[in-house]
Chain A
C-alpha cells in the first residue's frame, strides 16, 4: 500500500498545526536552558542558523581542483576569530560569479579511509527511498560513532558574506589542499573523558560549496587532511543519483541573532514534577529494597532487583554488548577518575581553565533486574530506561545531593577526565539479543527475563545511590514525581 505523500504534506500543513502557545513555550524553554549555568557541560560557542536546501540538476564531470580564495579570518580579542566567507580576494579564481551554478548537483565518495577507521553516512536511505548524503563521519572502528572526523557540505550564498564566529581559538592557519583554499581553526581542548572537537577545517569548493569538517581530539590533523584529499565530488544530472550531497545552507549569523526573540527566564518551567527535597513518607512509601518483588507500572510484569555488585574491571561483566569502551590499565582494571572543576572563559579574552581537580576511585555498578510476566497473556515490547539518583536522608525527609559540588572553589562546571559522570547505563542486555538492549519482547506467561545493566560510578557516590527503574534517565540531583510513585530502589552501598 502506498501512502500519498502529497496528502500527508497537506495534512501536516493544514491540520496538524502547532498552537502558538506551544511554540512560545518551546522557545522560552530553550532560552531558559541556554541561560542556565552548566553543571556538566563544556564551553559554549555560537553557531549560525542552518536550513536544509535541496540541490537540483547540474551537469559536468568530477570536480577538478581550482584555486578558490573566498575565506579570510578576522581576529576578535585574544581567542576569538571570525571566519568570513564570500569575499573573493583573488580574481584568478575560475569560480567567478558568472560561472557559478547555484543548482549544481554532486555525488560524493570517500576514497581514503585511514586504516582502523570506518565511514558512516554515505549510504543512508531516506524516507523517499533515495540515498542522500547529509553528514559523513569517519571514526575508529573500536570507538564507533565517537571521535574521528565528521563533515558536511555547506551551500554558501553567492551574493552575500557569511561569517562564523569562533571562540576558544588557540591557533589558525591557511592551507592549500590540492589547489583549494582551506582554513584550520584549532580550539582549546582540556583533558576530558569526552571526545572534543580540536580542529575545524573549512575547504572551498566550486559553486559556493564549502566543506565544514570537525576533527576530534583522537584524530591527527594530517589524517583529516588526507581524508579531505580523498573526497571525490562528481557532478551529475541525475536527481536520484546515489550518494547525492544534500548541502546545508547557512544564513548570516547577524540575521539569525536579530531574529531571536528575548524571553524572561522562568526557573520553574518544566520542573513541576522535579524537585530536590521530598518528605520521608513520599520517599519511603513505595521504596524497594534489593530482593523485593514489585509491580511494573502499567504492565503485567513484576520486577526484582536481584543483584547489585561493585566491580573493578569491565572484564567481570558477562556482557554480550558494551555500549562504550571502558578505559582500563594494563591489568584490565579501571583507572581512578579525576573530577575537573572548570571555570569557563568567554572564549574571546579568556580561555576555559581547570581550577581544581579531585581524584576518585571508579567502580562499575552492576545490576540484575528480573522481570516476571504474572499474567496469562504474552507481553508486547516493553522497555524501561533507568537512571540513578543521588540522595540522602535528612531529619524529616530526603534531599538530593550534588556529590561533587565544592563550595570553596569558584567554578562553572565539573566533569570527569577519565570517565564521564553519567547516570545513563554503560550498557543494557536483556539476556537474549545485544540489539534488543533493554527491550523485553514477548515475555511468555510465567516467564522470567533478566535484564543486566551497569553504570560507571565513583566511591564518593556509593552512599547516596538510588535506582529509578522506570521513569527515564532524569537527573542525578532531582526527584521525579513518577519515580516516587513507583518507588526508588535503595541500592546504597
Chain B
C-alpha cells in the first residue's frame, strides 16, 4: 500500500482509533500516545503489509499492541480494570449521561470480550475482520461475542436489580 493511501486511511478513521484506544486506556493523553506510536510504527512497517485490504485490521492490531505497550511502559497509566478496583468507575464514566450504564457495563467486560464488542458493535467490523485484528480465529471471536453478550446481560441485570 502506498504511504499516501495509508495516510488517508488513518485520517479518515481517526475517530475509530480513538474509540478503540479508549477501550483500553482511560486517559486521553495515553490514548494519544498509543495512537501516535501506532501511526509511526505502522508507517515504518508499511512495507510488511501483505495485502491492502487488510490495512485497517493490520493497523488495529498495531494499535492494540501499542495500548498494551503504553500500559507496560508507564506505570502511571490507569487501565479500566484499575479504575474498577479502586471503585472509581463514576469518575471515568462521568459525562456519558444517559449512556453511562451501557458503556460502563461494556467496559466492565474482560478485555478480550470488550475488544470484540467494541470492534463488532461500535466499529462494525465483520467477524472475519475482528479475527484478523486479534490474530485469532473466526470461531474464537464468535465464542467471545456470545460470552460477552451473556456477561453484559448479567451485568445489566445486576445493575437493575
Contact = CB atoms under 8 A, between A and B. Distances in A.
Interface residues of B, number: 65
A135 B126 CA distance: 14
Given A11-B102, A145-B50, A420-B47, A128 B14 contact: no
Interface stretch (A61-69, A70-78, A86-94, A269-277): A269-277
B114 interface: no
Contacts of B136: 435-436, 439
Of the four ranges (under 10, 10 to 19, 20 to 34, 35 or more), the interface on chain A belongs to 35 or more
Contact of B40 (A11, A21, A29, A42): A29
Interface string B41-85: 101111110111110000000100110010011000000000000
Interface string A26-37: 110111011010
A124 B8 contact: no
B128 A124 contact: yes
A11 B96 contact: yes
B98 to A, nearest CB: 9
B39 A12 contact: no
B87 interface: no
B153 A1 contact: yes
B72 A30 contact: no
B4 A44 contact: yes
A187 to B, nearest CB: 11
A286 interface: no
B124 A33 contact: no
Contact of A273 (B65, B73, B129): B73
B78 to A, nearest CB: 15
B21 to A, nearest CB: 9
Contact of A22 (B8, B35, B62, B122): B35
A219 to B, nearest CB: 14
A239 to B, nearest CB: 17
A475 B95 contact: no
B130 to A, nearest CB: 9
A16 interface: yes
Nearest to B42: A33
Given A1-B153, A29-B36, A16 B18 contact: yes
A45 B65 contact: no
B17 A34 contact: no
Contacts of A60: none
A297 interface: yes
A375 interface: no
Given A297-B72, A381-B112, A40 B18 contact: no
Contact of A383 (B2, B73, B127, B135): B135
A474 B44 CA distance: 8
Interface in A105-137: 121, 124-128, 135, 137
A96 interface: no
A337 B79 CA distance: 45
Contacts of B4: 34, 44-47
Given A15-B99, A474-B41, A47 B73 contact: no
B133 interface: no
A126 B36 contact: no
Interface stretch (A2-10, A169-177, A201-209, A389-397): A2-10
Interface of B: 2-5, 7-8, 10-12, 14-15, 17-19, 22, 28, 31-32, 35-37, 39-41, 43-48, 50-54, 62, 65-66, 69, 72-73, 95-97, 99, 102-103, 112, 117, 120-122, 124-129, 135-137, 149-150, 152-153
Interface of A: 1, 3, 5, 7-8, 10-12, 14-16, 18-19, 21-23, 25-27, 29-31, 33-34, 36, 38, 40-47, 49-51, 121, 124-128, 135, 137, 145-146, 150, 194, 214, 269-271, 273-274, 297-298, 324, 380-381, 383, 385, 415, 420, 422, 424, 435-439, 470-475, 481-482, 485
30 contacts: A3-B152, A8-B121, A14-B97, A16-B122, A21-B32, A22-B14, A22-B18, A23-B14, A25-B35, A26-B10, A26-B35, A26-B36, A27-B11, A33-B39, A34-B4, A38-B3, A41-B46, A44-B4, A47-B5, A124-B128, A126-B124, A126-B126, A127-B120, A146-B51, A194-B47, A269-B40, A273-B37, A420-B48, A424-B48, A472-B66
Given A385-B65, A424-B45, 7 more contacts: A1-B152, A22-B14, A25-B36, A43-B2, A45-B4, A47-B5, A270-B40
User: Across chains A and B, which 8 residue pairs bring their CB atoms closest together, nearest first?
Assistant: A270-B40, A33-B43, A127-B124, A18-B18, A11-B99, A40-B47, A30-B7, A270-B36
